[in-house]
Copies of this chain bind each other. A is one copy, B any other.
Amino acid sequence: MMKSIKNPESQPKCNVIGCENCGVGDLCARYRAETHQTDNQVEVVLQHYHPVTETGGHIYWAGDKFEQLYAVRSGCVKTYTVDAEGNERIRGFYLPGDMLGFDALYSDEYTSSACAVAPTEVCSISYAQLSKAVASQPHLQQRLLRLMSKDLATAMALAGDYTAEQRMAAFLLHLYERELQGHIGDAGHVSLLMPRRDIANFLRLAPETASRVLSRFQKQGLIRSSQRSLELLNLTALWQLAQSVGIVSEQIVRIKAA
């Protein structure tokens, strides 16, 4: 089922993150070696290896035994569940620098499936090793909790009953914010690696509605969109829409200069 390709060079890398910007770079064996960090303050647990997964390939499936957490290095991963009626529900999108797999912490098996929506590279962390590291480095636990809380916060935010416009604006700005943080993509520009259908599903909208909202934004001069890449022309207006959803900081409107 898992479409893994051993040779990373055979796949395009549209948005590789540098290890120095990775959220768990300091846990990464290779990166620490490269930068000559030989202190033993934190046990080294991350496997800096990049199995490449092509679009539609799975990192893990719901129900798989939980053994690894993953850090995205390039591309984009979606996690999703399938309900009793067979409807897919997208739980989240993960960009370079993000970690995924936390949902499995509770139950020893993944509760959602993870699937690449674009050619994607991931690094892996053995949870067994990480657990040991946590035992000896209690502050790591707080860090893991904080990473988890990101997922929780976006899930909670999205659970609110906001209009299609509010949710879309929040989604775009949130994506923008994260792409900037990972130093991928330029100011005022967002790459939509996932298809519209997936965006819509994530935002609990019909694909048509998502499309309509984007058209409306464009007509109002808030964005200029062309397929998988769009420009944010009026950050202030977008932020005013997204504001009450509560996942984007006001800072985002001022990054124009950066």
Whether B204 contacts A161 by the Cβ 8 Å rule is yes
A153 to B83, CA, bound (A): 13
With A145-B105, A149-B106 given, is the CB distance from A87 to B244 under 8 Å? Answer: yes
List of B residues within 8 angstroms of A148 by Cβ:
106
B84 with A244: CB separation less than 8 A: yes
Partner of A145, one of B91, B106, B156, B244: B106
Mask: chain A, 12-49; 1 = CB below 8 Å from B; 0 = not: 00000000000000000000000000000000000000
Residue of B nearest to A87 (CB): B244
Copies per assembly: 2
A162 to chain B, nearest CB (A): 9
State whether the Cβ of A243 lies closer than 8 Å to any Cβ in chain B: yes
Instruction: Name the prevailing secondary structure of the A interface residues.
Output: helix
Contact string, A138-171, partner B, CB cutoff 8 A, digits 1/0?
1000000110110010011011110000000000
Are B85 and A244 in touch, CB under 8 angstroms? yes
Q: Is A7 positioned at the interface, with any CB of B under 8 Å from its CB?
A: no
* B149 with A152: CB separation less than 8 A: no
The docked-state distance in angstroms from the alpha carbon of A135 to that of B142 is 13
Decide if B149 touches A107 in the complex (CB within 8 Å). yes
Within 8 A of B (CB), among A101-138: 105-107, 135, 138
Closest to A108 in B: B142
Interface residue A89 (Cβ < 8 Å from any Cβ of B) = yes
> Roughly how many angstroms separate A89 CA and B156 CA in the complex, as a whole number?
10
B243 and A160: CB pair below 8 A? Answer: no
Residue A246 lies at the interface, judged by CB distance under 8 Å to chain B: yes
Q: Which 5 A-B pairs have the closest CB atoms?
A: A106-B149, A159-B159, A161-B204, A84-B244, A83-B244
Q: Which residues of A contact B (CB under 8 A)?
A: 83-85, 87, 89, 91, 105-107, 135, 138, 145-146, 148-149, 152, 155-156, 158-161, 204, 243-246
Q: List 18 A-B contacts (CB under 8 A).
A: A83-B160, A83-B244, A83-B245, A83-B246, A84-B246, A89-B160, A91-B156, A105-B145, A106-B148, A106-B149, A106-B152, A107-B149, A152-B155, A155-B156, A156-B159, A159-B204, A160-B204, A161-B204
